[in-house]
Structure 1
């Protein structure tokens, strides 16, 4: 069975962008789409904080509305994609990590830090999911393209002191091949690190690191043009 593209949703705008991106990704690779909504209340047999719901409306109905709307949106956007949607009990990060165990990729929304509290659900769990997931994780932000585009590049980050995961390299190559675009393998160094060896793309150590991470043969087999780039950071992020 084809591993699906799995996307976590709530009712926020950021998760809807993630849903659209995931539907396009599933269509691009000819894979099914799995839509997941995690509910901590589901574990308590529908127990609901009544003040958060309109009078007469149950938690079950609210959950069903979220997942039904998401499924309908995905089907409208990509009618050719097989879609399965479900509500799963548990904490969001735990649920998505488990869902990613048999997924081609796991997609979540990414929102700005000043977003209203009620919209933090998907945006705030992305880092936690990325740290624990067994499959590639895609965080879809505000500037994500609405449709797959061939005029963009796929970026593969390569860290010093570690070997690039074969799964990450394979995923990056698949994405570049499917989109008909170039793959850029990037290694970032601080100014202090760049002093020894000399900074920039002419650094023998940095160049060797990138070549070891992405051998030419793997790229040629996928028909992908690969660029290797060393970036020297002016300052480190906090």
Structure 2
């Protein structure tokens, strides 16, 4: 329900309809799944009620959003990837703890969808705060090689503009960058290369065009530590995901998996090739 609420608020921000999808193995195999393989209290009727209740909840919370719920046959990742082919964004919940995740392996759905979907995928964890944060900021992770026209940069600027908040662009330097700083005769504690990377990735002209205030930060240490610190009160973290060479699937790196497991805010994984 937390992911549903986030998706509905996102639809309202951008003036878009909301499509609520449930992937049903029963629909695919016509009820062949034995009842003893299901968690206690789960039935086909119960799942249909969940979908109906989700649609009712969405319409009551945001009457201005055109919401529609449906049940589609197939495995969750396959269904969601196909449903998100022409979507503005695909939002999924991610339960980090509890017996239900261990029983159904729900933990794989978020990363599985993010690795294959062509639209931005937003993963809302069960520890995400309800509603926007008091600080109202969007955080953008900037890795080496990020260009100004990268899709995740454009997406982050768009999200910050829609929320009327600032964008914090962060680049975390590893041990190499920290060695550069220690040998920097200026003593300013900042690497010119890292500063140039952030300026090139999020140029002032793009921020001015979107009407977004951008704060650029270079942080020492591992990326997941820097992002954990920066997102304690953030509305959203945006990370870029590159495609493997010659493959359709995106390459989720350790930083992506760490973000999905530990960060306190929703995480948007955006393929570098995603068009504006």
Distance 1:165 1:124, change over 3 A: farther
Residue 235 (structure 2) aligns with: none
**TM-score, normalised by the number of residues in structure 1:** 0.80
SS in 2 for 1:102: coil
Q: Do structure 1's residue 216 and structure 2's residue 200 form an aligned pair?
A: no
Deviations 1:93-140 (A, max 9, x none): 11111122111111111222x311357565431112112221111111
Structure 1 CA distance for aligned equivalents of residues 12 and 189 of structure 2: 37
**TM-score, normalised by the number of residues in structure 2:** 0.70
Residue 83 (structure 1) aligns with: 67
Structure 2 CA distance for aligned equivalents of residues 176 and 94 of structure 1: 30
Q: Do structure 1's residue 130 and structure 2's residue 114 form an aligned pair?
A: yes
Structure 2 CA distance for aligned equivalents of residues 201 and 223 of structure 1: 30
CA contact (8 A) 1:150 1:179 kept: no
Residue 57 (structure 2) aligns with: 73
Alpha-carbon shift at residue 155 of structure 1 (Å): 0.8
Residue 230 (structure 1) aligns with: 218
SS in 2 for 1:48: coil
Distance 1:132 1:236, change over 3 A: same
CA contact (8 A) 1:201 1:229 kept: no
SS in 1 for 2:85: helix
Structure 2 CA distance for aligned equivalents of residues 236 and 34 of structure 1: 32
CA contact (8 A) 1:201 1:207 kept: no
152-161 vs 196-205, which moves further: 196-205
Residue 17 (structure 2) aligns with: 32
Structure 2 unaligned blocks of 5 or more: 226-253, 255-276
CA contact (8 A) 2:173 2:223 kept: no
Distance 1:165 1:125, change over 3 A: farther
Structure 1 unaligned blocks of 5 or more: 1-15
61-70 vs 179-188, which moves further: 61-70
Residue 273 (structure 2) aligns with: none
SS in 2 for 1:217: helix
CA contact (8 A) 1:150 1:181 kept: no
Structure 2 CA distance for aligned equivalents of residues 54 and 117 of structure 1: 10
Q: Do structure 1's residue 106 and structure 2's residue 94 form an aligned pair?
A: no
Alpha-carbon shift at residue 216 of structure 1 (Å): 1.1
**1:1-238 correspondence to structure 2 within 5 Å:** 16-51=1-36, 52=38, 59=44, 61-112=45-96, 114-117=97-100, 122-149=106-133, 151-163=135-147, 166-196=150-180, 202-233=190-221
Structure 2 CA distance for aligned equivalents of residues 196 and 85 of structure 1: 53
